[in-house]
Amino acid sequence: MHIEDIEYDVDGQRMVGHLAYDDGKSGRAPAVLLCHEGGGLDENVMGRAERLADLGYVGFALDYYGGGKPIATAAEAMERLGPLMADPDRTRRLGFSGLDVLLAQARADPDRVAAIGFCFGGAMSLELGRAGAGLKAIVGFHPGLGTGRPEDSKNIKGSVLMMLGSADAFVSAEQRLAFERDMTDAGVADWNLEVYGGVGHSFTNPLADGLGIPGVGYDQRSDDRSWQSMLRLFAETIDA
């Protein structure tokens, strides 16, 4: 297994992403860009890049804060997220910069690319699609669903799968319905929304329980189910 931290630059800021792939095989492999939670690039997302590498993918976990480190507190994470949520141009630049690193890898197949994201990383993955990135699949785990440019959703060409809990502290039922209208009005050909009853935000992150925030917590069953749903979509889109 090849595992490497890669430094790159976005708007003069030093980013550090996490690359993983099986170096015991030759030829190009499907490529997956991973976009971390609002808490920063942590062991959970880097570990998922390595899990994907075990399955034959080239995984690259980008960095959208700088330094390639997790954020110390939830308050600091929210302070950093605020400007990004209001700036789709920077969000897209951050996403495309990570995508460029992924596609620069000799093992990455540029014709079989997916982007997945957790929390705001899910919103970033959607913004890449809205900006016209050549993604076969876009997957969000407890993602942010809002966008400042819903009209750009018409540019999404790949399959979209968003998965979240009904008790998510940050995504309301009204926001889920707005996302459904967005996908429908934009004519996105293949989109799905999975909702897990009674489950909160950050259900894929075992560290979420330690935050002590109502509506935020790990749920192993939903974690397992959502991962399998992602793999089924990959089998339909980038594994062919």
Domain limits for position 87: 2-237
pLDDT score at 60:
98
Res. 214 pLDDT band, cuts 50 70 90: confident
Count the domains in the chain.
Answer: 1
Please give the distance of CA 27 from its chain centroid, rounded to a whole number.
25
pLDDT score at 179:
96
DSSP structural state of residue 157: -
CATH number at residue 126: 3.40.50.1820
User: Cβ atoms within 10 A of the Cβ of 140, count?
Assistant: 29
pLDDT, mean of residues 82-93: 89
Percent of the chain with pLDDT strictly greater than 90: 81
Q: d(Cα 153, Cα 170) in Å, to the nearest integer?
A: 21
pLDDT, mean of residues 50-77: 90
Q: d(Cα 200, Cα 85) in Å, to the nearest integer?
A: 20
DSSP structural state of residue 142: S
Res. 26 pLDDT band, cuts 50 70 90: confident
Res. 232 pLDDT band, cuts 50 70 90: very high
pTM: 0.95
Which position has the higher pLDDT, 149 or 215?
Answer: 149
What DSSP element (H or E) covers 235? Answer: helix 220-237
Res. 193 pLDDT band, cuts 50 70 90: very high
Model confidence pLDDT, tens digit, residues 103-142: 999 999 999 999 999 999 999 999 999 999 999 999 999 9
pLDDT, mean of residues 168-184: 94
pLDDT, mean of residues 27-36: 97
| Averaged pLDDT score across all residues of the chain | 94
Question: Which residues are 59's β-sheet partners?
Answer: 20, 32
Q: d(Cα 59, Cα 173) in Å, to the nearest integer?
A: 32
pLDDT, mean of residues 38-65: 95
Ranges 23-27, 143-147, 152-156: which has the least confidence: 23-27
Dmax (CA) of the chain: 47
pLDDT score at 55:
97
